[in-house]
Amino acid sequence: MVSTPRETHLFRVDEDEERLWYMDPITVSGLTATQPTLALANVMRRLPGMSGASAYGDSSFVVQVTPVGISVLEMDPELGTASFIGAIVLRESDTWKDRTVVAASVNASQVVIALDGGVIASFNLNEHGHLQKRQ
């Protein structure tokens, strides 16, 4: 991924041919290419454990954070495409419609965003790739 102040470009590494391929945004459904990317991460799949504690396993989920919100995609490495899973779009929120994401961090199961005006919001990523705001 290469992010500029105006847009995002996604590339795929082909290890067999030792080449770098540009991925057309049309083949990556849900990727926001018209905004800079503040964070992009491949995340682990959350697996509910027997004792109530969560475990994590490999997944094809990718989280992208831009100034306008958070998107969750599911990548298909064989085809080099992605499917849109869901998003949190700030302008669609009564609470945050006039805010912009200025910083972000992503780990195995959480996304934290900092909004202009000093607001911080945290989201959990469930086993289906959906974001849920932490209280």
pLDDT on residue 83? 81
pLDDT on residue 135? 62
Which domain CATH number covers 68? 2.130.10.10
**Residues 32 and 19: beta-carbon distance below 8 Å:** no
In angstroms, how far is CA 36 from the centroid of its own chain?
Answer: 13
> Block means of pLDDT (10 residues each) for the chain, length 135 residues?
87 78 73 91 75 73 93 79 84 88 91 94 83 80
Cα distance between residue 24 and residue 21, in whole Å: 9
pLDDT on residue 56? 72
Question: Which tokens hold the place of 17?
Answer: 């041919």
**Residues 125 and 46: beta-carbon distance below 8 Å:** yes
pLDDT on residue 110? 87
Q: How many domains does the chain have?
A: 1
> Which residue range forms the structural domain that includes residue 75?
2-133
Cα distance between residue 66 and residue 101, in whole Å: 7
pLDDT on residue 126? 78
